[in-house]
Chains A and B, each alone.
Chain A
Amino acid sequence: MAKSMLIITRQAPWSGLGPREALDIALAGGAFDLPLAMLFLDDGALQLLPAQQPAAVQQKNLGANLQALPMFGIDELYVCGSSLAERGLSDTPLALDAQILDGAGIKALIDRFDLVVTL
């Protein structure tokens, strides 16, 4: 039976390769049908802000690629509720259908997976 992997992404978009390279890990695993989930934590929650315009800084649309995750079989998507609240995003409709978790929920999530990578 395949080991499951949780990918925790903690960086804001448009300021480095972290978000894209975290996503690439997910997509590569999805291509192998591995059981995967992604958690958007801390500044990673900012990747889920709707209606972002990366073209304004001449970058590719990461959001569109995130939307493709379910097509790769990755539909377990989570976001940290505290991270949203800290950033004033608790009432903002998110760009991705991610389940909001509190600290206890994240603890349980991490426990559930065989492998974790946090970038």
Chain B
Amino acid sequence: MATLHVLSHSPFTDGRLQSCLRVLGVADGLLLCGDAVHALHTGSTAWPALLEVAQSGRLYALDEDVRARAIAATEQVQRLDYPAFVQLSIDFDKVNTWL
């Protein structure tokens, strides 16, 4: 069972990213949207923890949120529009949004 975890809070003020990474399985995916995309600033304290997920092709970001915030995300981050988001939710067995 592979779970798609979804985060939308800034990683700098909130503990969700850290908790999520602690329970992220090897086949699980991580989708960043809203303020969570600020974790993609490669010089930030949040980014190093995401490297492994990014390198294994399991890190996703909602494209509109990356663009809105003018973040220079690396190519390893898979940018999604809404149709791709829907497809991703089908590709994974279940979705766990960190509300």
Contact = CB atoms under 8 A, between A and B. Distances in A.
User: Is the pairing of A and B real?
Assistant: yes
Interface of A: 8, 10, 41-42, 82, 103, 106-107, 110-119
A82 B98 CA distance: 18
A117 B3 CA distance: 12
Contact of A106 (B15, B22, B94, B99): B22
Main secondary structure of the interface of A (DSSP, over half): mixed
Interface of B: 1, 3, 15-16, 19, 22-25, 94, 96-99
A42 B99 CA distance: 13
Contact of B19 (A42, A113, A116): A42
B19 A110 contact: no
Contact of A110 (B15, B16, B23, B99): B23
13 contacts: A8-B96, A41-B19, A42-B19, A103-B22, A103-B23, A106-B22, A107-B23, A107-B24, A110-B3, A110-B25, A111-B25, A115-B94, A119-B99
